Amino acid sequence: MTSVPVDIAPPGWRALLGRAHGAVVITLAGGVGLHATNVYLATTVMPSVVADIGGARLYAWATTVFVVASVLGSATAGALLAHSGPRWAYRWSALVLVAGTVICALSPTMGVLLIGRAAQGFGGGLLFALCYSIVRVALDESLWPRAMALVSAMWGVATLIGPALGGIWAQLAMWRGAFWMLIPVLLLFLVWGAGRLPSASQQQGRVRIPWAAVGLLTASALVISVASVSDSLPVNAAGLAGAGGLLALWLRHERTAAVRVLPAAAFGPDRRLRLVYITMSLLVIASSVEVFVPYFGQHLQGLSPLEAGYFGAAMAAGWTAGSLLFSGVSARRGLLIGLAPVSCVLGLAILVTAGPAATRAPAILLIIITGLVLLGGGIGAVFPHLLTDVFQLAGDRDQDLAGSSATIVQLTATAFGSALAGTVANLAGFADPAATAHAARWLFAIFLVPAVLAWPASHLIRRTRPAIDPRAGHRQRGGTVDRGRVE
């Protein structure tokens, strides 16, 4: 059997952003960027929203309904792509996001705003999952790693832009302007950007929504999100346990269901796709400490709200830099997947040491920023390659599920990670100024665990051999015969 080398350098950024693919890539990156910017912009203006229209007791639900609706949107993205094709699926998703944004901008009460946030979450979740899926449809496989890196990096860019734009409108006491500002850009991508995308999906016409799986996932996200806003430890623990039980039921359902949200290969003899999902989940959970970094920056390091916001954005900056710098790695790709979590462990170890320091000393601030950059950089370096693996291992029949499945895994892990971070912080008494440093130390230390666990999981991805197809006598790779060497 002839061995076909796979360590060929992928095309560079010029091939991705040139005339042939540039408009498509900008449309996909822009879609994710708009969704992500909306997330951070809304978070920034929420205090001004409450001051204007009231509804303080529903403050946390602005995030809760958004997260739950995002999971629901991501879970139905595959069906929409198969039914409408990339172009119209993108347009419908953007239109729902526009509608939700308009409702938010016009909201006279918090109840109406929550309806808008739910629509934003659903449309944004659809758009988020679709942009990953359309990469496979619209671009050559050799361009996938860099395209995934650029799309993934939009979250880092949004973390830098969203708080600044939201802060400006909040400072002007015109929070509605933050939402209105998004409308023209969304309409531009809806009309011009979507027109650059292919009109048909490879599996157009197969319209079957996995309602049971969507229901279990949505219920899981709802339970964990509701529990996370409580200041009662028993409620938080019950929420984690209940959501975990629902996730277990979902996985059991996925194994035998005819209509799923995960590719069938995730439950096959080749365990690499399972390991990819596990690694992604653990890394996303480890990154959840980012939620409390601005709070610690204000209460421990004495930073202003704007300074603390950008202090927390250091992790996102590392994520973006890691994605862009390492997306072109080919010859040592497997080694990168195995070792990138080490950067996350090192970053969190630094935060355990320096994060609780109650000082504004430049040296301490620089050390904390270094820890955050290492944490984000490790995740960013490996994420585009993990996303590419999902497409390559999903199998030919489940390619329309590949992109949405990666998004569902990421969003679900985010919900669990945020809730766990809230539980740890509450248990450590972070609301008590005297216990803030104690809470920071415990938070960073406990979230070392998923980062440490991500290392053996990622290491096993490249060590696990593909399953053997006894009929063909060749190793299987994602449902297709791979006669070559797989690193």
Q: Quick: pLDDT tens for 10-65.
A: 567 777 878 778 888 899 998 888 888 888 788 778 878 888 998 877 776 787 78
CB under 8 Å to 86, separation ≥6 — which residues?
Answer: 130, 134, 137, 138, 197, 198, 199, 200, 201
Question: What integer is the mean pLDDT of 143-169?
Answer: 80
Residue 9 pLDDT: 55
Decide if pLDDT at 1 tops 70: no
Residue 7 pLDDT: 46
Decide if pLDDT at 470 tops 60: no
Residue of higher predicted confidence among 136 and 204: 136
Contact at 8 Å (CB) between 369 and 479? no
Residue 279 pLDDT: 93
Question: What integer is the mean pLDDT of 124-150?
Answer: 84
In whole angstroms, what is the distance from residue 410 CA to residue 275 CA? 14
Residue 188 pLDDT: 93
Residue carrying the six token digits 């359902």: 253
In whole angstroms, what is the distance from residue 198 CA to residue 186 CA? 19
**pLDDT confidence band for 477 (50 / 70 / 90):** very low
3-class SS of residue 188: helix
Q: Please calculate the CA angle 93-96-100 and round it to the nearest 5 degrees.
A: 140
Q: Please tell me what DSSP assigns to residue 433.
A: G
Q: Please tell me what DSSP assigns to residue 398.
A: G
- Give the least confident one: 263-272, 305-314, 436-445: 305-314
Question: What integer is the mean pLDDT of 415-444?
Answer: 82
Question: What integer is the mean pLDDT of 342-371?
Answer: 94
Residue 480 pLDDT: 37
User: H/E element holding 311?
Assistant: helix 305-312
Q: What is the pLDDT of residues 219-239, one digit of tens each?
A: 888 888 778 767 777 888 888
Residue 439 pLDDT: 87
Q: What is the pLDDT of residues 373-386, one digit of tens each?
A: 999 999 988 888 88
- The answer for 205, left when phi > 0, alpha when psi is -120 to 50, beta otherwise, is left
**pLDDT confidence band for 206 (50 / 70 / 90):** low
Query: Of all residues in the chain, what percent carry a pLDDT higher than 90?
Result: 28
Q: Which ranges of 355-447 would DSSP assign to H, the alpha helix? A: 362-393, 399-427, 436-446
In whole angstroms, what is the distance from residue 223 CA to residue 300 CA? 32
In whole angstroms, what is the distance from residue 347 CA to residue 244 CA? 28
Residue 207 pLDDT: 57
Question: What integer is the mean pLDDT of 462-479?
Answer: 44
Q: What is the pLDDT of residues 407-424, one digit of tens each?
A: 888 888 887 887 788 778
3-class SS of residue 468: strand
Distance of CA 427 to the CA centre of its chain: 26
Residue 487 pLDDT: 35
- Give the least confident one: 202-211, 378-387, 414-423, 447-456: 202-211
Residue of higher predicted confidence among 43 and 279: 279
Q: Which fold has domain 20-205?
A: Growth Hormone; Chain: A; (1.20.1250)
**pLDDT confidence band for 276 (50 / 70 / 90):** very high
CATH code for the part of the protein at 264-482: 1.20.1250.20
Decide if pLDDT at 300 tops 80: yes
Question: What integer is the mean pLDDT of 133-155?
Answer: 81
- Give the least confident one: 22-26, 101-105, 353-357: 22-26
- Give the least confident one: 63-72, 304-313, 319-328: 304-313
Dihedral Cα 210, 211, 213, 214, nearest 10 deg: 110
Q: What's the chain's average pLDDT?
A: 82
Residue 4 pLDDT: 38
Question: What integer is the mean pLDDT of 330-350?
Answer: 84
Decide if pLDDT at 203 tops 80: no
In whole angstroms, what is the distance from residue 275 CA to residue 454 CA? 9
Q: What is the pLDDT of residues 57-100, one digit of tens each?
A: 777 678 778 888 888 888 888 888 888 889 999 999 999 999 99
